[in-house]
Amino acid sequence: MKHDSFEFDRQLYDLLCQEIHQRFTTRQLRDAYAATLDFPGYELGAVRIYVYEQIRRLIRAGWVVKSPKLSKRGQLFHLLEMPAHINLVLVASRFQRPDNSSPFHSESVEGPLVELPTRSAQNESDDQGRLQEMLKETRLDLLSSMGETERYKQLFEEIPVLRARLQGEYHEVRDRSSRLLGHLRALENSLKAIAAA
């Protein structure tokens, strides 16, 4: 069986290894992750988007599933056993202090330390490929978020009593869609800039 390399945030992985985080909401995992950060320059909104993107990656990898039940704090997720096809490579947080070790130095949980190439060593096609992959993931996240927003609106029309109970979640998902759209435009502009270079 082919093993796919799966880079994942080391601090998030440590949190998910804790029994308390076997079931979680985006907000719970975001707050727990933010509490581990010692870099004062981060924005909580950026952390939330980052954590949500990592959850979406785990879902696509078959490592996390959505619970059919909504909690009062939002969508609940369940952590499963790590899929056999994944070769997990732990990397440093993007919110790490600049003076800490480089986020491009990683380690595999099944082997010795692995040094990934630095940005200065990557050629233009590597950068393009990385941006295209990020663009693909962001598009999928945006479509999912927009679909969730649309479903909430339909539910509010069909079952008005839900509006008062889920208004907060609806606004949260709508704001997420706006931020993801901004991410999408930034990635598209970055690809254009590389192509024009």
Architecture in CATH of 1-121? Orthogonal Bundle (1.10)
What's the pLDDT score for residue 97? Answer: 56
What per-residue confidence (pLDDT) applies to 41? Answer: 65
Find out whether 100 and 92 touch, Cβ atoms under 8 Å.
yes
What's residue 88's pLDDT?
Answer: 92
Domain extents for the chain?
Answer: 1-121, 123-197
pTM of the full predicted structure? 0.51
Residue 113: the pLDDT is 40
Rounded average pLDDT per 10-residue block, the chain, 197 residues: 80 92 90 81 78 91 86 80 90 68 43 42 66 84 87 91 88 87 87 79
- Predicted confidence at residue 8, as pLDDT, reads 93
Long-range pairs for 76-81 at CB < 8 Å and ≥24 separation? 76/23, 76/24, 76/25, 77/23, 77/24, 77/25, 77/26, 78/22, 78/23, 79/16, 79/21, 79/22, 79/23, 79/24
C-alpha dist (Å) from residue 85 to 3, 10, 58, 72, 88: 5, 19, 13, 34, 9
pLDDT of residue 18: 92
